[in-house]
Amino acid sequence: MTIPLILDTDPGVDDAFALALAVASPEVSLVGVTTVFGNVSLGSTTANALRLLALLGREDVPVAAGAARPLVHPQARLSSAHGSDGLSGFAHTLPEPTREVDPRDAVTLMRDVLVAADRPVTIAAVGPLTNVALLLAAHPSLRSRIGRIVVMGGGLDGGNITPAAEFNLWCDPEAARRVLVEEDVPVTVVPMDLTGRCAVSAQWLTALAETSEVGAKLVGLTPDYLATYRRFLGWDGMVLHDAVAVAEAVRPGILKSTRFPVDVECSFGPARGALVVDRRLESREHLGVDIALETHVEGLREFVFDRLGALGQAD
């Protein structure tokens, strides 16, 4: 039985691979894409989502724009590792969409999907958690219709945007705290500690580009992001953070998770946005979130490659 999936996203190069993986996975039915500010502005993340679904031949999937800014405090504008347009400056190489953004806002689309679903819906949240926090605040009665929320975010041993905080949680710590701490919904957090170990090489990307036109287009979006990660990693590769999280959404259990009590630092000190995980004791109660700490790294890379490599092949 397929899992209805909503992807909440800020495309974003790794978001593009994550969206493609969702489209390529028969285990899920992608029923909605909601966009949020993050890697670039909401206008650009939304335009990128529309172009990516045109590339993937899935303009049947509604795209609804959500939050253009965090819940409470403004986020410092930064140059993006994803390039000025969010896709290494190559968004224009993707097809023009032939339909408009959905007239509903992101929260309304998510509400409508949840109300209409005949089984629990998975939400994969791979950007700042503002839209998800707003959904849960505005429609608490719909919590029971959410099967799980898979969140790409957090870093147990340091961050990427600051020494303490990972980008998605740093963008809107208050929203992250609402979703990860204050709401009673099953959440799996896929932190950068694990996604970083699943980095893919430039050779992997070259091989993917040779599988199909779609593969070549996806890889064509990576130059700025690859350049950033060459410096981070110290070798010729990049981290598909969001695709690792979507792999868990489409194949539950591909990542090995353990439940821990967590918090999110919302003060304005140097640790703002940090995911605080109490690893002193595995949480036995329902409190806490599942944190993905292990996977078969090579197997995961192969899973993602095989799925993306099949895109654009003649049916």
Interacting residues with ligand RIB (CB under 6 A): 10, 12, 14-15, 38-39, 126-127, 152, 160, 166-168, 192, 241-242
Q: Which is nearer to ligand RIB, 217 or 241 (CB)?
A: 241
Alpha helices in 60-210 (DSSP H): 106-116, 130-138, 167-171, 173-177, 192-197, 202-209
Q: What is the CA radius of gyration of the chain?
A: 18
Among the listed ranges 88-96, 173-181, 242-250, 298-306, the one in contact with Ca ion (CB under 5 A) is: 242-250
CB atoms within 10 A of CB 282: 11
66 lies in the site for Ca ion, by CB under 5 A: no
Shortest separation between residue 242's beta carbon and Ca ion, angstroms: 5
Q: Which is nearer to ligand RIB, 166 or 248 (CB)?
A: 166
Shortest separation between residue 124's beta carbon and Ca ion, angstroms: 10
Q: Which is nearer to Ca ion, 94 or 142 (CB)?
A: 94
Identified catalytic residue from 82, 92, 241, 296: 241
Instruction: Give kind and range of the element (H or E) at residue 82.
Output: none
Q: Which is nearer to ligand RIB, 142 or 264 (CB)?
A: 264
Shortest separation between residue 313's beta carbon and Ca ion, angstroms: 26
Shortest separation between residue 292's beta carbon and Ca ion, angstroms: 16
Instruction: Give kind and range of the element (H or E) at residue 295.
Output: strand 289-295
Q: Interaction with Ca ion in 119-158: which residues (CB under 5 A)? A: 126-127
Q: How far apart are CA 18 and CA 240, in angstroms?
A: 8
Largest interatomic CA distance in the chain: 53
Q: Are the CB atoms for 265 and 272 separated by under 8 Å?
A: yes
Q: Which residues contact 275 (CB under 8 A, 6 or more apart)?
A: 153, 154, 155, 156, 165, 166, 169, 176, 180, 189, 191, 262, 263, 264
Cα 33 to Cα 5, 45, 164, distances in angstroms = 9, 11, 29
> What are the tokens at 41?
């502005």
7 binds, among Ca ion, ligand RIB, none (CB under 5 to 8 A by kind): none
Q: Which is nearer to Ca ion, 6 or 126 (CB)?
A: 126
Q: Interaction with Ca ion in 256-285: which residues (CB under 5 A)? A: none
β partners of residue 292: 257
172 binds, among Ca ion, ligand RIB, none (CB under 5 to 8 A by kind): none
32 lies in the site for Ca ion, by CB under 5 A: no
166 binds, among ligand RIB, Ca ion, none (CB under 5 to 8 A by kind): ligand RIB
Helices H / strands E in the chain, number of each: 12, 12
Cα 23 to Cα 54, 56, 256, 293, distances in angstroms = 12, 7, 23, 25
42 binds, among Ca ion, ligand RIB, none (CB under 5 to 8 A by kind): none
167 binds, among ligand RIB, Ca ion, none (CB under 5 to 8 A by kind): ligand RIB
Shortest separation between residue 128's beta carbon and Ca ion, angstroms: 8
Size of the site for Ca ion (CB under 5 A): 6
| Known catalytic membership, residue 139 | no
User: What residues act catalytically?
Assistant: 241
Residues in the site for Ca ion, rule: CB under 5 A?
10, 12, 15, 126-127, 242
